[in-house]
């Protein structure tokens, strides 16, 4: 089928549907919802069999939905309507939630129902539920819609609130009033529910050290206590605030300044001096996790396998985070297990350098330089590991330097639903480092390497496997993926052939080093990056500014809008 995806932006769900439908052999083109005239023109140029709208913030123009079948993906159960679907479901502690595929008509979210897929709702961050359960269910719902469209005989079900299967209802946009935390009264569980229901966007509006800020990235804390509402501790970028019955950690803040674009930052960075006065409660990387708390990096061993786990908000890795991760990695190298698994976060493996921290630095060029060197140090340490078999296990998506960092490991395993963006150029023609000029061609060959980086398109895990970019992909959900990673890693650790495998690995590395030293790859990449950061062309700085401030693109790039690329020849 020829499918036009009409969307507010190329977000994770849109990317997943794009790669999934392309893998299934459909012709998929994208148009960003910029204005009605542009949408009409796109439909005219594309002449699609079906329009899919996975992420829209406005209604589809009437003449478009009247003349074309438009299927809207709504992150709510049958009958649920409104722009805050997941927010309400999480705030009200629903146990079951779902995704509905419905036909666009004159009333928002009230069209005939083509498919509904339900799931158990995790009490987690909205952004995480969106990236996992909602995305997986949307893929399934779209699959059913396509089967039903092709079948021809299917009649979608009109929305009828007298039908007992219709459990949802219309709800308004959730306001800050409903999200507001009462620090004197709310228990930790309530505070976390409010933070979770608001994570990603818009956050919970609050006041901290005299500033109006949005709070994000809440974590439970079961040991620390204090007078309700007071700040009691800090750890790395996060601050800990007491509630009526305990405390919670807050990892990210975004300042609210009317009329000015702002961005999320680690809480201690945004608070500055007010945060430094708080006692730092350290937690060793290898401390046993017998209580809930905030930790970005941890190390543990199980059945002869070492696990270095890192979970950075939005997969963004700042200079100091890379340095801490490198120390944890070095500590793991000194331990016994000969199989080491690098476990990125549940939602993201890594998205490379921390563009928000770079943006707010006094000299973004200098901070970019420090950040890329810190991430390169880590990539180099992984490549140079001689006596352990390293495995990158990706349960979440990865982009740019984050993908290449994973390739530094000996084996790369990805969850089936993972989407990879193995390219840098969309960020203002950034050249990229992380030893990608060594790692990528080594895995996929020079020609494919060029295709992957130049196409600037996302790849599904299975497409990445066919290319040789990852070694294997398995399991649909995170927990089964982690269980299978453990099973496979344990098998490798017990395999009598491990010694021989490690010897081969060392020989291959020595051979490669003789051909061309690693340092040379790094040096040449960094010389190009120096130009990106300090040269005359400001493209990277402009692209980063637009990215961190969520400034929408004014047109859909040709690599996505195939209907426009065709016309332009
Ligand atoms: N640094 C800082 N923040 C980052 C980031 C990075 N490298 N990558 C993603 N984020 C943040 C976004 O700013 C956004 O912040 P928000 O929570 O305030 O909205 C959040 O992560 C989610 O990003 P979004 O783009 O909405 O997620 P997505 O899943 O739809 O798309 C990517 C994911 C990775 C394709 C996209 O975020 C991206 O292109 N990131 C930049 C990658 C990059 O160029 N890294 C630097 C070079 S190494």
pLDDT of 567 over the 80 cut: no
Tell me the mean pLDDT in the region 338-345: 97
Extract the tokens encoding 75.
Answer: 């992150």
**Could you tell me if 291 and 325 are in contact, meaning their C-beta atoms sit under 8 angstroms apart?**
no
pLDDT at 568: 65
- Among candidates 272, 409, 398, which has minimal Cα distance to 346? 398
Task: From the CA of 216, give the closest atom in ligand 1.
Answer: 17
Assign 290 a pLDDT band (cuts: 50, 70, 90): confident
pLDDT of 569 over the 60 cut: no
CA of 430 to the centre of ligand 1 (A): 15
Q: Model-level pTM?
A: 0.97
Closest C-alpha to ligand 1, atom 30: 11
CA of 550 to the centre of ligand 1 (A): 10
CA of 481 to the centre of ligand 1 (A): 23
Tell me the mean pLDDT in the region 346-365: 98
Extract the tokens encoding 131.
Answer: 């990236």
Closest C-alpha to ligand 1, atom 13: 548
Closest C-alpha to ligand 1, atom 17: 200
Q: Which of 351, 418, 429, 456 to mutate to test the pocket of ligand 1 (most atoms within 8 A of CB)?
A: 351
Q: 91 to each of 61, 115, 178, 197, 516, how far by Cα in Å?
A: 32, 25, 9, 6, 56
Closest C-alpha to ligand 1, atom 40: 351
- 351 Cβ partners below 8 Å, 6+ apart? 314, 315, 316, 317, 397, 398, 399, 400, 401, 402
CA of 360 to the centre of ligand 1 (A): 16
CA of 12 to the centre of ligand 1 (A): 10
- What per-residue string of b and e applies to 206-233 under the rule 16 or more CB within 10 Å gives b? bebeeeebbbbbbbbbeebeeebbebbb
| Strand 2-7 with 27-32, pairing | parallel
H-type helices in 445-497, by residue range?
446-455, 461-467, 478-494
Question: Whole-number mean pLDDT of the chain?
Answer: 96
Closest C-alpha to ligand 1, atom 8: 351
Task: From the CA of 426, give the closest atom in ligand 1.
Answer: 44
Task: From the CA of 14, give the closest atom in ligand 1.
Answer: 30
pLDDT of 488 over the 80 cut: yes
Tell me the mean pLDDT in the region 503-521: 98
pLDDT in tens, 9-32: 999 999 999 999 999 999 999 999
CA of 85 to the centre of ligand 1 (A): 23
CA of 357 to the centre of ligand 1 (A): 12
- 412 Cβ partners below 8 Å, 6+ apart? 391, 392, 394, 406, 469, 470, 471
pLDDT of 85 over the 90 cut: yes
Task: From the CA of 11, give the closest atom in ligand 1.
Answer: 30
d(CA 396, CA 410): 19
Tell me the mean pLDDT in the region 190-205: 98
CA of 458 to the centre of ligand 1 (A): 13
Task: From the CA of 351, give the closest atom in ligand 1.
Answer: 7
Which contacts qualify for 252-261: CB closer than 8 Å, 24 or more apart? 252/215, 252/216, 252/217, 252/313, 253/208, 253/213, 253/214, 253/215, 253/216, 254/203, 254/213, 254/214, 254/216, 255/211, 255/212, 255/213, 255/214, 256/205, 256/212, 256/213, 256/214, 261/549, 261/550, 261/551
CA of 130 to the centre of ligand 1 (A): 15
pLDDT of 538 over the 90 cut: yes
Helix (H) or strand (E) holding 191: helix 188-198
CA of 350 to the centre of ligand 1 (A): 10
Assign 301 a pLDDT band (cuts: 50, 70, 90): very high
| Site residues for ligand 1, CB cut-off 6 Å | 11-12, 200, 264, 314-316, 351-356, 397, 399-401, 421, 424, 427, 430, 548
CA of 478 to the centre of ligand 1 (A): 20
Q: How many residues does the chain have?
A: 569
Q: Tell me how crowded residue 518 is: count the other CB atoms within 10 A of its CB.
A: 16
Closest C-alpha to ligand 1, atom 19: 200
| Strand 96-103 with 70-74, pairing | antiparallel
Closest C-alpha to ligand 1, atom 41: 351
CA of 374 to the centre of ligand 1 (A): 19
Task: From the CA of 131, give the closest atom in ligand 1.
Answer: 29
Tell me the mean pLDDT in the region 450-466: 96
Task: From the CA of 263, give the closest atom in ligand 1.
Answer: 18
Q: Which of 203, 355, 426 to mutate to test the pocket of ligand 1 (most atoms within 8 A of CB)?
A: 355
d(CA 304, CA 338): 8
pLDDT at 259: 86
Task: From the CA of 372, give the closest atom in ligand 1.
Answer: 48
Closest C-alpha to ligand 1, atom 34: 399
pLDDT in tens, 261-286: 899 999 999 999 999 999 999 999 99
CA of 354 to the centre of ligand 1 (A): 9
pLDDT of 566 over the 90 cut: no
pLDDT of 329 over the 60 cut: yes
pLDDT of 178 over the 70 cut: yes
CA of 483 to the centre of ligand 1 (A): 28
pLDDT at 565: 82
- Among candidates 338, 270, 259, which has minimal Cα distance to 301? 338
pLDDT in tens, 96-152: 999 999 999 989 899 999 999 999 999 999 999 999 999 999 999 999 999 999 998
Percent of the chain clearing pLDDT 90 (strictly above): 96
CA of 160 to the centre of ligand 1 (A): 39
Task: From the CA of 200, give the closest atom in ligand 1.
Answer: 17
d(CA 158, CA 187): 42
pLDDT of 330 over the 70 cut: yes
What does the CA dihedral 243, 248, 253, 256 come to, rounded to 10 degrees?
A: -20
CA of 42 to the centre of ligand 1 (A): 27
The residue ranges of DSSP E strands in 395-535, in sequence order, are 397-399, 411-415, 419-421, 459-460, 472-474
Neighbour-count burial of 409, counting CB atoms closer than 10 A to its CB (0-12 exposed, 13-18 middle, 19+ buried): buried
pLDDT at 289: 78
Closest C-alpha to ligand 1, atom 10: 314
Closest C-alpha to ligand 1, atom 5: 316
């Amino acid at each position: 089928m020829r499918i036009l995806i009409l969307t507010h932006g190329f977000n994770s769900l849109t990317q997943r549907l794009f790669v999934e439908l392309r893998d299934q052999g459909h012709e998929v083109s994208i148009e960003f919802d910029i204005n009605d005239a542009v949408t009409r023109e796109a439909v005219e140029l594309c002449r699609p069999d079906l329009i899919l709208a996975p992420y829209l913030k406005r209604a589809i123009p009437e003449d478009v939905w009247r003349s074309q079948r438009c299927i809207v993906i709504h992150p709510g159960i049958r009958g649920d309507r409104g722009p805050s679907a997941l927010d309400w479901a999480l705030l009200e502690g629903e146990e079951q939630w779902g995704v509905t595929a419905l036909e666009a008509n004159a009333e928002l979210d009230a069209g005939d129902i083509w498919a509904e897929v339900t799931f158990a709702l995790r009490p987690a961050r909205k952004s995480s539920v969106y990236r996992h359960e909602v995305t997986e269910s949307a893929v399934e719902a779209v699959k059913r819609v396509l089967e039903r469209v092709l079948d021809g005989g299917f009649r979608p079900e009109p929305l009828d609130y007298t039908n007992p299967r219709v459990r949802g209802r219309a709800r308004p946009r959730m306001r800050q009033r409903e999200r507001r935390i009462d620090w004197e009264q709310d228990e930790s569980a309530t505070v976390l529910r409010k933070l979770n229901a608001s994570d990603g966007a818009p956050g919970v509006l609050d006041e901290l050290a005299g500033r109006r800020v949005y709070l994000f990235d809440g974590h439970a804390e079961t040991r620390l206590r204090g007078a309700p509402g007071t700040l009691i501790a800090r750890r790395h970028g996060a601050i800990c605030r007491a509630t009526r019955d305990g405390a919670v950690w807050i990892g990210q803040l975004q300042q609210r300044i009317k009329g000015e674009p702002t961005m999320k930052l680690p809480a201690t960075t945004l608070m500055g001096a007010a945060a430094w006065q708080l006692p730092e409660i350290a937690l060793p990387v290898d401390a046993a996790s017998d209580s809930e708390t905030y930790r970005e990096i941890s190390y543990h061993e199980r059945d002869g396998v070492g696990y270095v786990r890192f979970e950075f908000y939005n997969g963004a890795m700042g200079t100091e985070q890379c340095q801490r991760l490198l120390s944890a990695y070095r500590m793991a190298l000194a331990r016994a297990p000969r199989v080491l698994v690098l476990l990125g976060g549940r939602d993201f493996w890594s998205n490379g350098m921390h563009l928000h921290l770079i943006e707010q630095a006094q000299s973004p060029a200098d901070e970019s330089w420090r950040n890329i060197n810190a991430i390169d140090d880590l990539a180099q340490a992984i490549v140079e590991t001689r006596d352990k078999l390293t495995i990158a296990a990706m349960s979440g998506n990865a982009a740019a330097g984050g993908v290449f960092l994973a390739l530094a490991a000996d084996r790369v395993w990805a969850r089936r639903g993972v989407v990879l963006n193995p390219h840098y150029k969309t960020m203002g023609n950034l050249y990229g480092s992380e030893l990608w000029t060594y790692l990528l061609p080594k895995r996929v060959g020079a020609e494919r390497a060029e295709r992957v980086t130049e196409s600037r398109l996302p790849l599904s895990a299975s497409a990445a496997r066919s290319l040789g970019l990852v070694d294997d992909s398995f399991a649909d959900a995170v927990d089964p993926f982690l269980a299978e990673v453990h099973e496979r890693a344990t098998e490798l650790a017990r395999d009598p052939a491990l010694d021989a495998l490690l010897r081969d690995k060392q020989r291959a590395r020595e051979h490669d080093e003789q051909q061309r030293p690693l340092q040379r790859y790094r040096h040449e990449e960094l010389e190009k990056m120096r130009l990106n950061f300090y040269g005359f062309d400001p493209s990277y700085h402009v692209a980063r500014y637009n990215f961190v401030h969520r400034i929408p693109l004014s047109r859909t790039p040709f690599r996505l809008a195939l209907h426009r690329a065709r016309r332009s020849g």
